[in-house]
Structure 1
Amino acid sequence: MTLEVPSSLPRTRRTAEHKVFQNEFIAVYNDDVLIAGAFPAQFLRIVEREGKPGAAVLARCRGQYALVLNDRYPTGDWEWGIPRGFAHSGDPEHTAREELAEELGGLPRELVPLGIVTPNSGLLAARVHLYLAEFDAEVAAPVDSAEIAMVRWIGLPELYAEIVDGRITDAFTLSALTQATARGLLG
């Protein structure tokens, strides 16, 4: 059985678009909408990089997985997670390769698409493409040390233990692991 959405369900639709903020990364809108096609309301919507897709990459080298440490200002915490980033172009694979070069300091031998995640579909108009990258060597030479504080390569049991213990909470890491597991790619 597949999860299908009946075409007869009423949709929320935009009646007016109001851009309230924009910088090089995002545009914020406070749109007038009709919920279920009938009830007037306003909805905040954040569009990243003009709607171009970002990328997040589960990097693997001989059974070890790369994590990068970032100081995440919005949450006020250090966060371990997989390499990821805003769109570098309209091509998510190009973005994935650029992020790996920037955050790990190298390029993979192979890049396998895993799927797409919508990180917060109640607020963000973003789709992020997920990939599994196969490396021949455990590279750990970030180009921008102001963005990436550290790189660690760890085994899958340790990665799962970090998740269970609540030390890895990054949604992209959890999503990429779920996609790779569902596709039978983690062995």
Structure 2
Amino acid sequence: MARRGDTIELAVLGLLHEGPMHGYELRKRLNLMLGWGRLLSYGSLYPALKKMLRGNLIEEVVPSGVQTRRQRIVYQVTELGTEEFSRLMSEVGPAAWEDDNFDIRFRFFSSTDMEIRLRVLEGRRSRLQERLDRVQRELSMTQKEVDRYATELQRHGVESVEREVRWLSDLINAERGAQGHGTASPETPTSSAPST
């Protein structure tokens, strides 16, 4: 399982890869990416930024021209940070498809090779299929033992995972179709992304 700090580092490097940002903008964009269940506080962001500054993955720049009482610091990725982002995005092990890391990696898929995207998508689908099989077994064993609300909650969990497995299968098929036609990226699947 990926550590939260590693996930934040990947997300920050990815966002700064797209362009320089100040801390407030970074936090706002990170919270949009992480979703409502994993809001990021300044108390988590700034220590991560300081660590990345010490590691020379990012650097601070003070914008010229605009003078305010308190200059807003803008962060930008360094060459070493770009290399680290590429390295992190090329990893295809279990951390790449776990809940804590998959959404962030998926957000930056356009920066990844098609083979890596396929391996991550297939790994995620396989992990979810294992989870789905386990939850379905538990549901069938406990339906008679628990009340209807507990059963409905389990059924909701099964439907959510089934929906994400279908979505991943559509993405994998689109990637393979694009690979067969030599195009750079997949067409957008017709099904909508799951809410996680």
Q: TM-score range by the shorter chain?
A: under 0.3
Structure having the larger proportion of residues in helix: 2
Larger radius of gyration: 2
Tell me the TM-score normalised to structure 1 length: 0.25
Structure having the larger proportion of residues in strand: 1
Tell me the TM-score normalised to structure 2 length: 0.25
